[in-house]
Amino acid sequence: MTEKIKLFDTSKCTGCRSCQLACKQWNQLAAKQTRNTGTYQNPPDLQPNTYLVMRFQEMDDPKAGVKWFFRHHACMHCTDAACVKVCPSGALYYTDMKTVGLNRAICIACKECVTACPFDIPRYDDKTDKVYKCDMCESRIGNNMEPACAKACPTGALTWGDKDKLMKAAYKRAKDLGGDAKVYGDKFVDGTHLVYVLQEKTALYSALPTNPSVPLSIVLWKDVLKPLALLAAGGVLAGSFLHYIIHGPKTPDEDGANKMEGGE
Amino acid sequence: MKKGLIQATDWYERLVHWMLALSCLFLCLTGLAMMFHSLNSIANLMGGLTVTKYLHNFTGLLFALALLLAIKMWWQEAGVFSMPEDLEWMMVAGGYLWHVDKVPEVGKYNPGQKMFFLAVAIFGLVMVITGLIMWFPLIFPAMLVRWLFVLHALGFVVIFAFFFVHLYLGTIGSPGSAPAMFSGWVTRAWLKKQHPKWLKEMEEEGTLVVSGEENKAH
Ligand code: HEM
Ligand code: SF4
Ligand code: SF4
């Protein structure tokens, strides 16, 4: 299957939240009562039952007056995904389309993915003792449909398609927009499968890391210590064997004085 | 029981030892099942990976208890080095690696065993502290928990490797040792070879317990 990505263009988004609602609908996620905290941001963050949230930000701009920032916030579907690296059960996995799926039935609720993800995406629910996140509508994209969110988007801010084609479009769009506009996603974790065209500087968007990477600790843990555990134990076993056949065990001396005193 | 055997350990010592050893072994096994996808099948024997995870966590509590008891019990004897004989022993690696005419005499625990004890005590505590926090990762900062996973894995590398060293030296590597941790009774010949100074000390202090003889100590 050809590699596909989901492209989100902040400049075309009107903040209508169709994508957020479509996600709830397709994944049959109930809504939760929330409190108004004086912003349009609702719900306030990702939750076990909210895989996708539209981030709303108001920015004061001396020239343009108030500016609105809208960002489609969900799993980035990393090519080198920290969550897949740490998941002990295989519940998190790469799909044929290179997106990151989640087989909740075998999740053991160790929550390692929650601490590992550089984008702070997976959410743990203590009622079900499982972890939740966007799976890019695996049941849809596996059947040649686009993700529910992209299907619902009325403005073309969200598109789903072949990686090559959409990346080209993304770079062209960033160039056309000019100013601070840039492409976000292809330069780290070996490329994400949710890619943004950001109209403003990355640092201005809330909850968006400017330079995310698979944490060093996870690379050390999984790529160095894990093989080392087997290597060290294997080395000890081999060493013991060599010791036994070359140097020999440390056997009690069998002189006459000891014979009387029992023993084996 | 054969006459002339010497009591090297009492029941409490052996109980704590086996609590520590078996819980540690089980933690290694369940840990391996979680560490390697190819070993996930070990977990199937225990009712699945979720069950295994909780078995690991609760066995961790038992291990913590055993470790504390072990440290309390062995600290005096195995936690401190007595110079200069321990240093001399180390210079010749206790005669374990090359031929040594006369191995310096050491007490109940030789420096190798002391280092082993210290490694188990230190890394055991590391495993307990990191493990307890990793059990409830969401109430701690993610940065901290990420590094604790590294420490837990590092501790595993050490403990898993040491486990086999210990197994070898406690069995075929020095014949006659294993009974010390099963029945507690060892032969005089073994004691003389392995812990000559301890044997002398016990003889001098009259604390030697020999099967078939009147107990002089009590
Ligand atoms: C001899 C001591 C121990 C050994 C050898 C050991 C070994 C391991 C290993 C190999 C792993 C898998 C790590 C990986 O995936 O790379 C692990 C995970 C884990 N261990 Fe231990 N461990 C020990 C003690 C403990 C203790 C005392 C606790 C706390 C009660 C604990 C709690 C955990 C937790 C929470 C995990 C993560 C998986 C999970 O959520 O259950 N461990 N351990
Ligand atoms: S964004 Fe986080 S949860 Fe999504 S694939 Fe990357 S590491 Fe995994
Ligand atoms: S919580 Fe579940 S999905 Fe996350 S790493 Fe653990 S087993 Fe995998």
**Arithmetic mean of pLDDT, B123-145:** 97
Neighbours of B44 (CB within 10 A): 12
How far apart, in whole angstroms, are the C-alpha atoms of residue B4 and residue B210?
6
Residue spans of the domains in chain B: they are 11-183
pLDDT grade for A257, boundaries at 50, 70 and 90? very low
pLDDT in tens, A98-108: 999 999 999 99
pLDDT confidence of residue B218: 46
Ligand 1: does its nearest atom lie under 6 Å from the Cβ of B28? yes
Note the ligand closest to the C-alpha atom of A87: 3
pLDDT in tens, A165-214: 999 999 999 999 999 999 999 999 999 999 999 999 999 999 999 999 99
Ligand 2: does its nearest atom lie under 6 Å from the Cβ of A134? no
Q: A6 with A150: CB under 8 angstroms?
A: yes
How far apart, in whole angstroms, are the C-alpha atoms of residue B14 and residue A17?
66
How far apart, in whole angstroms, are the C-alpha atoms of residue A72 and residue A27?
17
Computed on alpha carbons and rounded to an integer, the radius of gyration of chain B in Å comes to 20
How far apart, in whole angstroms, are the C-alpha atoms of residue B81 and residue B96?
19
pLDDT confidence of residue B4: 86
pLDDT in tens, B33-84: 999 999 999 999 999 999 999 999 999 999 999 999 999 999 988 888 888 8
Q: Which residue has the tokens 């062995």?
A: B74
pLDDT grade for A264, boundaries at 50, 70 and 90? very low
The 3-state DSSP class for residue A190 equals coil
Average pLDDT, rounded, for chain B: 91
Between A251 and B120, residue with greater pLDDT: B120
Choose among B37, B154, B164: nearest Cβ to A233: B164
Q: B1 with A261: CB under 8 angstroms?
A: no
- How many inter-chain contacts (A to B, CB under 8 Å) are there? 149
**Arithmetic mean of pLDDT, B10-30:** 96
pLDDT in tens, B176-202: 889 889 999 999 998 888 888 889 989
Contact list in A for residue B154 (CB cut-off 8 A) is 225
pLDDT confidence of residue B180: 87
Average pLDDT, rounded, for chain A: 93
Ligand 2: does its nearest atom lie under 6 Å from the Cβ of A83? yes
Residue to mutate among B50, B169, B172, B211, with most A CBs inside 10 A, is B50
Do residue B137 and residue A115 have CB atoms under 8 angstroms apart? yes
pLDDT grade for A254, boundaries at 50, 70 and 90? low
Residue in chain B closest to A261 (alpha carbons) equals: B4
Ligand 2: does its nearest atom lie under 6 Å from the Cβ of A78? yes
Q: Assess whether pLDDT exceeds 80 at residue A259.
A: no
Q: A125 with A44: CB under 8 angstroms?
A: no
**What percent of chain B is modeled with pLDDT above 90?**
63
What is the nearest CA distance from A93 to chain B, expressed in angstroms?
12
pLDDT confidence of residue A261: 39
Q: Assess whether pLDDT exceeds 50 at residue B205.
A: yes
Ligand 3: does its nearest atom lie under 6 Å from the Cβ of A112? yes
* CATH architecture of the domain with residue range A4-80+117-212: 2-Layer Sandwich (3.30)
Angle between helices B142-170 and A226-246 (to 10 degrees): 10
What is the nearest CA distance from B102 to chain A, expressed in angstroms?
13
The interface predicted TM-score (ipTM) is 0.89
How far apart, in whole angstroms, are the C-alpha atoms of residue B104 and residue B109?
13
Do residue B35 and residue A226 have CB atoms under 8 angstroms apart? yes
Residue to mutate among B110, B127, B168, with most A CBs inside 10 A, is B168
pLDDT confidence of residue B214: 65
**Arithmetic mean of pLDDT, A55-60:** 92
> What are the helix (H) ranges across chain B?
11-35, 40-44, 49-78, 85-91, 111-135, 142-170, 179-182, 188-194, 196-205
Q: Assess whether pLDDT exceeds 50 at residue A258.
A: no
Residue spans of the domains in chain A: they are 4-80+117-212, 215-264
Q: B128 with B148: CB under 8 angstroms?
A: no
- Biggest CA–CA distance in chain A, Å, is 103
**Arithmetic mean of pLDDT, A150-170:** 98
Q: Assess whether pLDDT exceeds 60 at residue A255.
A: no
pLDDT in tens, B89-107: 888 888 888 888 888 887 8
The CATH T-level fold of domain B11-183 is Fumarate Reductase Cytochrome B subunit (1.20.950)
Pocket test for ligand 2, best of A99, A102, A133, A219 (most atoms within 8 A of CB): A133
